[in-house]
């Protein structure tokens, strides 16, 4: 479904963010990407939806070389790939359902965009997405009256309402407390299992990566240094990924303890 072949990404300032990335991700996988800050995690997932263009190599999504896409092709690619950010990217002064309905705007004719007119089907789809993440009762509440965890669930519902094949999440729980972070990660897991939707999460919390993801990819200095099952991650693997940084990577016993608690 997603395939990196010898992918490099170098920024204009000379920074080599990704170096010789070879990676295959199949339909329905739940993948956590871990590593130090600046290792290339965000760059990797943002290349998948063309937020960043690769410098060299090949990147395929559904057997389509995405670097060749232009205009309508890029818009269709992004329509099939939901993106969730740490900052939620919501309009806080309007209701929850109106934020979710934003997912329908790209497909709407101009007159409906201007007037803000949504069909019953679009409204139904938005309400179903809110129900799936457990906040249907907040549909007509202003976003600025919600907690951080609830706002992240609104962002997730908005993504679900666009009916993507893939969800990319860039540090989706970084600003949440531990209990809420677990709840949001459980939402991702249920969506992955029930809808067979591919989920890629860039995450700093090792314990959450090990608990919720089926597969872990470790990146260090723009290169993949681990790619395997979450249950196969050892202290040695974490040491390799985090270059011995206890502050960021911690150790496996602490991560496992956090999971069980």
Closest CA to 158 of 129, 192, 134: 129
Separation in Å, CA 168 to CA 33, 200, 253: 11, 5, 28
Q: Is the pLDDT of residue 240 over 90?
A: yes
Q: Is the pLDDT of residue 148 over 70?
A: yes
Q: How do residues 151-189 score in pLDDT, each as one tens digit?
A: 999 999 999 988 899 999 999 998 889 999 999 999 999
- Mean pLDDT, range 31-41, rounded to an integer: 95
- Mean pLDDT, range 234-248, rounded to an integer: 81
For residue 111, count CB atoms less than 10 angstroms from its CB and return exposed for 0-12, middle for 13-18, buried for 19 or more: exposed
- Dist CA 199 CA 235 (whole Å): 25
Q: Which residue has the higher pLDDT, 6 or 175?
A: 6
CA distance between the termini of the chain: 35
- Taking the CB of residue 161, how many other CB atoms lie within 10 A of it? 25
Q: How do residues 97-139 score in pLDDT, each as one tens digit?
A: 989 988 776 666 666 666 677 888 888 999 999 999 999 999 9
What SS3 class is residue 22?
Answer: strand
pLDDT of residue 260: 42
Domains and CATH numbers, the chain: 26-39+70-80+167-261 (3.40.50.300), 85-163 (no CATH)
- Dist CA 242 CA 249 (whole Å): 6
Strands of the chain (E only): list them.
Answer: 2-10, 16-25, 30-34, 56-61, 64-65, 81-85, 166-170, 198-202, 215-220, 223-229
Q: Is the pLDDT of residue 207 over 50?
A: yes
Separation in Å, CA 94 to CA 129, 130, 132: 18, 16, 21
- Dist CA 73 CA 77 (whole Å): 6
pLDDT mean across residues, the chain: 88
As a 3-state breakdown, the chain gives helix, strand, coil percent values, each rounded to 5, of 45, 25, 30
Q: Does an H or E element contain 206, and which?
A: helix 206-212
């Amino acid at each position: 479904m997603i395939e990196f072949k010898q992918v490099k990404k170098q920024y204009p300032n000379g920074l080599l963010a990704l170096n010789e990335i070879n990676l295959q991700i199949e339909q329905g996988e739940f993948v956590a990407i871990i590593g130090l800050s600046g290792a290339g995690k965000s760059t990797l997932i943002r290349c998948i939806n063309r937020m960043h263009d690769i410098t060299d190599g090949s990147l395929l999504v559904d057997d389509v070389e995405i670097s060749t896409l232009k205009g309508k092709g890029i818009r269709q690619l992004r329509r099939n790939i939901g993106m969730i950010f740490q900052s939620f990217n919501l309009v806080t002064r309007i209701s929850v359902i109106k934020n979710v309905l934003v997912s329908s705007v790209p497909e709407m004719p101009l007159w409906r965009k201007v007037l803000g007119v949504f069909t019953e089907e679009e409204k139904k789809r938005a309400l179903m997405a809110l129900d799936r993440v457990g906040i249907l009762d907040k549909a007509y509440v202003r976003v600025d009256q919600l907690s951080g965890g609830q706002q992240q669930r609104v962002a997730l519902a908005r993504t679900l309402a666009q009916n993507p094949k893939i969800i990319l999440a860039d540090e989706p729980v970084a600003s949440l407390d531990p209990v809420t972070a677990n709840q949001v990660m459980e939402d991702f897991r249920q969506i992955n299992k029930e809808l067979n939707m591919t989920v890629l999460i860039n995450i700093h919390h090792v314990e959450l990566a090990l608990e919720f993801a089926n597969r872990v990819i470790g990146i260090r200095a723009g290169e993949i240094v681990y790619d395997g099952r979450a249950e196969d991650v050892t202290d040695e693997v974490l040491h390799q990924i985090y270059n011995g940084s206890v502050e960021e990577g911690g150790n496996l016993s602490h991560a496992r303890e956090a999971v069980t608690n």
